[in-house]
């Protein structure tokens, strides 16, 4: 009986934890790692960085 009561509670706690983690990761992504935060570093950008803006 105790086991049967416990199991749904565990599943609920695991589900809440997973959702909380997903929300935290989504927030982190948009706050720090989204496309707007990514510095451009392709061949042209590195050329300009090393050789100067006139050498893309």
The answer to whether the Cα torsion of 20, 22, 25, 27 is positive or negative is negative
Among 3, 9, 35, 42, binds another protein (CB under 8 A): 42
By CB under 8 A, is residue 36 in contact with another protein?
Answer: no
From residue 5 to residue 24, what is the string marking binding to another protein with x (rule CB under 8 A)?
--------------------
**Interaction site with another protein (CB under 8 A):** 32-33, 37-43, 45-47, 49-52, 55-56
């Amino acid at each position: 009986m105790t086991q049967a009561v416990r199991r749904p509670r565990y599943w609920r706690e695991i589900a809440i934890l997973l959702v909380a983690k997903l929300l935290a990761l989504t927030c982190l992504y948009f706050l720090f790692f989204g496309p707007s935060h990514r510095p451009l570093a392709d061949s042209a950008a590195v050329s300009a960085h090393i050789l100067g803006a006139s050498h893309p």
